[in-house]
Chain A
Amino acid sequence: EAGVTQFPSHSVIEKGQTVTLRCDPISGHDNLYWYRRVMGKEIKFLLHFVKESKQDESGMPNNRFLAERTGGTYSTLKVQPAELEDSGVYFCASSQEIEQFFGPGTRLTVL
């Protein structure tokens, strides 16, 4: 069974540009989560989808971040416009019950 996949694995953009990250959860998992780890800090929860609905988006840092999960399958996280402090590793996870399975992450560098 395929695990959680994320695309791209790395992204380097300039400040002010837009970047869209994609996450494909494990097939059949209703829960999908986005997390972020910035340099030297702990992994922080961003938001949680149940199917296509946002269950909890309390961790989203500001309105430059937009997450979608149309159709309840894959999800995208768009950052527009990107700022220097957005650099970090963005993880996606999915679960059917309690145990969350993480993807390899997307390393975002904003120059």
Chain B
Amino acid sequence: SQQGEEDPQALSIQEGENATMNCSYKTSINNLQWYRQNSGRGLVHLILIRSNEREKHSGRLRVTLDTSKKSSSLLITASRAADTASYFCATCPIGGGADGLTFGKGTHLIIQP
């Protein structure tokens, strides 16, 4: 599998429900970042979690990181129609926190009203 591979590839839920997306990666990392991309638009940075952190919150977002399993999850609580977008995880290799990121193919999330 690819570095920074998300699953599921697509997810459709009802508004108000929680959405969970997972990301797996292969090599050791300095940090992992989650991004959102609305259709046809740029990437919006959501949250960054460093390799020595296990969980982080930002508003309705919760990110976990398990470096022993090389995996991360993004939880969006109380989803809204505006959360419909593609979500990507991106990893930064160990040794350089500002290095180029490796992205997965993304999870396309659809929130049904």
Point out residues on A near B: beta carbons under 8 Å. 4, 31, 33, 35, 41-48, 50, 56, 59, 91, 93, 95, 97-105
The residue that A42 contacts in the complex, of B33, B44, B92, B104, with Cβ under 8 A, is: B104
Tell me which residues across on chain A come within 8 A of B35, comparing CB atoms.
Answer: 102
A103 to B98, CA, bound (A): 17
Q: Mark B32-73, 1 if CB is under 8 A from A, else 0.
A: 010100000111110010000000000000000000000000
State which size class the interface on B falls in.
Answer: 20 to 34
| Most chain B CB within a 10 A radius of its CB, from A33, A47, A100, A105 | A100
Query: For chain A, what secondary structure do more than half of its interface residues adopt (helix, strand, loop), or is it mixed?
Result: strand
Interface of chain B residues 62 through 107 with chain A (CB within 8 A): 88, 90, 92, 97-106
Count: A-B pairs, CB below 8 Å: 59
Report 17 cross-chain contacts, Cβ distance below 8 Å, ordered by A residue. A4-B42, A33-B101, A35-B103, A41-B105, A42-B4, A42-B106, A43-B103, A45-B101, A91-B43, A93-B43, A97-B98, A98-B30, A99-B33, A99-B45, A102-B42, A102-B43, A104-B42
The CA-CA distance from A42 to B33 in the complex, in Å, is 15
- A50 CB, min distance to chain B CBs, angstroms: 8
* Residues of A close to B43: CB separation below 8 A: 43, 91, 93, 102
What are the 5 A-B residue pairs with the smallest beta carbon separation, nearest first? Answer: A45-B100, A104-B42, A102-B43, A43-B103, A98-B97
B residues 1-41 with Cβ under 8 Å of A?
2, 4, 30-31, 33, 35, 41
Q: Which residues of A contact B99 (CB under 8 A)?
A: 48, 56
Q: CB within 8 Å of A: which residues of B?
A: 2, 4, 30-31, 33, 35, 41-45, 48, 88, 90, 92, 97-106
Residues in chain B near residue A47, CB distance under 8 A = 100
CB-CB < 8 A to B45: which residues of A?
99-102
Bound together, the chains give a CA A102 to CA B2 distance in angstroms of 22
